[in-house]
Structure 1
């Protein structure tokens, strides 16, 4: 009889119904990588996923074979080219790309700051599309990167519409349909974010405008809010009833 670990792995805490445990664990390994942890050692991966090192090694062998991770010369693991390929396929599969990119380009032209469109991915948000500010000093998030839900203007919008996090702030966001925050994700950055809704009024994504906090202009909040509403219309979405009545 195989010995069960004293502490359940992270994947075992919330297994996929009808899924495969080994796949859940492999996906948890991939989820361990992030903006602050682009490279992880075997020990770090085992600690973050609560798996035995021997199990992690077997899973990494399969992930390496699929080019989803790569082992560097120093022994640490990083995400591989397979992740970039999957992201490219994901982005191309969306017929909304041209509409979203058009709105983002308009925001950058109007403000000279960086604009992005995020979608929720589990407990994080994925930067799906991004247009950089033409100015040399800017944040350097790239399309395909994952960001937290509990920090930054974009994350706060996701939390608000899922009734997570600070409820008072969430109510303000749901009522005003835009939020401006400085230093919430990074001390030197500011951000403005507005929701984009789907056909039944559910949150489909979030538009964000980010800049160094000293360049923040309060008047841009209305520009970002209008961009969110315009993209909602172009994608065939509709505002939630309480928003339509109060907006």
Structure 2
């Protein structure tokens, strides 16, 4: 009973410490940090499977001034963050600079995630850590800082439009592939039906009915 009670207390503590990000707290919670974020939906089976290890990982990095492991619920307060980061499936894990998140491609066991976080969640080049940037990145940051708010908004809109166009082009090409596949599949089925109707089945039946040796003579 004591072990069972300890388990539930640990579970409650883990749940209590779990941090969920939304547009309201994103900037404050991620400021100056490298992040590892899980974008999820509560009904997702893979998300449920990952949750115990992820909650343990969040607890490992809780309170860090430079590292953050957190959740983003795409069905609740974090929906706008999921949309802004192009999340299409669950769970999606992204990492890095909060303003330039990258897709995580590694393993999803606790050990895999812990090793990755320890090796990669370090202070990195960003607007907050400009001293860590190379000259080219510093020049880019300065260029954007010198732009007016209106010009910066326009530049962002232009680049976001490129992302939208790329997504639309991808979907259109996939639709064409699906239509081509459907047409080819129908054509194949028609050819197979024509071959069967040509007498192939009867030919095989006659062949199988012939005595061994290939002769009908008695």
The TM-score range, normalised by the shorter chain, is: under 0.3
Return the structure number with greater strand share: 1
Quick check: which has more Rg, 1 or 2?
A: 2
TM-score using structure 2 length: 0.25
Structure number with greater CO (CA < 8 Å, separation at least 6) is 2
